[in-house]
Each structure stands twice: as structure tokens, then as C-alpha cells.
Amino acid sequence: MIIYGKNAILESLRADKAIFRIYILDKYKGKFGEIELLAKRKNIKIEYKSRVELSNIAKETHHQGFVAECADFEYSELDDILEYASSLGEQPFIVILDGIEDPHNLGSIVRVCECAGVHGIVIPKHNACPINSTVVKTSAGALSNMRIAKVTNIVQTIEKLKKDGLWIYAIELGGQNIYSQNLTGALGLVIGSEGDGIGELIKKKCDGVLTLPMKGNINSLNASVACGIAVYEAIRQRG
């Protein structure tokens, strides 16, 4: 997989992700010491290229002068996420995504969740955005520190999480005000796409629907913004 962007590559290096080669804009040679130092310590070859050459490698012009060849993203198992929360002595906090197809939205959600200390994210195998270069770049390196499980069936995953003691809430219009709900225990929040929202069967499997108050004329938020507000309300309550 090709990844690009200074933060995405730096965080991948810090997290010991498998990087095979790094390409840096020639005029930056010697100016970004940590990337070059970490690469040399890990015996990763660095090549200095022109902006055009970097754009050809990345197939993208917004690479900030940093491109890398690395192994494909390694997904986690659902149990890995639960075990990670347990290892920290914390109640599990998981975000479940239903039908997020925009890689920029997915990357932004990963960034929000990593910053907020969410233990993991669940995405479906089908009809959803996979982890790709755009997701890595948009997450600003957060993807290197986030556990993501790709599952075949979201409904069955919710059923398993509920058996494991999590309360699962859909974040969507028409529910209870999120600010009146206790979000301090083992928790899963389901975020749907802007276009289709959360599937009806998935919504029925949830323990409830929580709604972000809307005061303006527009009745929906970008999925990553809605996720951020919901996640940080949970973090506020959980202390």
C-alpha cells in the first residue's frame, strides 16, 4: 500500500509498521530529522524525488512531500479490541460504522476516535470504505494507533457485543437526547452514513437511539462531526 503525508508516515514509523521505502521531496533533504533518523535506524531506504515524481508514485498531489511504500493495513479481531480495553483496566468503548463510504469521513472518524481514547472501530466488509491511502492521510497518523475490526455482519457483531456486556446506541435523529443518557459503562456507538443513515435491522438491535440536538434549518451533520460530538460526550461523562 502507498501512504502519504508527513504525519501518516511519521506515526507509522513510531508504531513500527512495516515500511519498505520512503520517498521525500528533494528540497526537504535533511530538514525533517525524525523521519530520516527513524528510517535509518530501521534500515528503511530513503529516496529523494521531485514533486512530480512523488505525485506519480502517490497518484495524488496532496502528499506534502512525503510518500512511502508499506504493508497493507492489518485489521484486528473484535476480541482484540475487547482484550485491549481490559488490559487498560477500562470499560470497552467501541465505535461501529454502518455504510461509511467516503475515505475522508472514515479517516476523520479514526482521528477523532484515536484522540478520544476509543478502544477500537468496527467496519463492515461490504458496502463500506476499506482502509486505503486516503484514509491513512486523513487520519493524520492516527490509524497507526487504532484497532479496526472488519466484520461480515454488523447485526451479529452487535449481538455479540451486547452479550459481552456493552450497551449499544445508534446515533441518529428521532431518539432520546444524547445529553440525558448515561454513557459511562461498556459502550458501543453506531454511526451511519449521511445518505442512508443506519440500517433498520441494525437500529432494532441497538439498546436505543440517541440524537444530537438540532437548532438550525439543516437536520443532519457530517458523519465524522456527529461521531466526534457523540464520542466526546461519552468521554466527558466517563471522566
105-135 tens-digit pLDDT:
999 999 999 999 999 999 999 988 999 999 9
> pLDDT tier at 32 (50, 70, 90 boundaries)?
low
pLDDT greater than 70 at residue 28: yes
Other beta carbons less than 10 A from residue 212's beta carbon: 18
198-222 tens-digit pLDDT:
999 999 999 999 999 988 877 778 9
Question: Which CATH class name applies to 2-70?
Answer: alpha beta
3-state SS assignment for residue 68: strand
Residue for grid cell 468521554: 235
pLDDT, greater one: 23 or 62: 23
Q: Report the pLDDT value the prediction gives residue 78, as an integer from 0 to 100.
A: 97
pTM above 0.85, yes or no: yes
Q: Locate the domains of the chain by residue range.
A: 2-70, 78-238
Average per-residue pLDDT in the chain?
94
What nine digits make up the cell of 41? 535506524
Q: Report the pLDDT value the prediction gives residue 101, as an integer from 0 to 100.
A: 93
pLDDT greater than 80 at residue 194: no
Q: Which fold has domain 78-238?
A: Alpha/beta knot (3.40.1280)
Please give the Cα distance from 150 to 162 (Å, whole number): 18
Which parts of the chain fold into alpha helices (H)?
6-14, 33-41, 51-58, 78-87, 103-116, 133-138, 154-163, 200-205, 223-238
Crossing angle of helices 154-163 and 78-87, in 10° steps, is 30
User: What is the number of alpha carbons within 13 Å of residue 113 lying toward its C-beta?
Assistant: 32
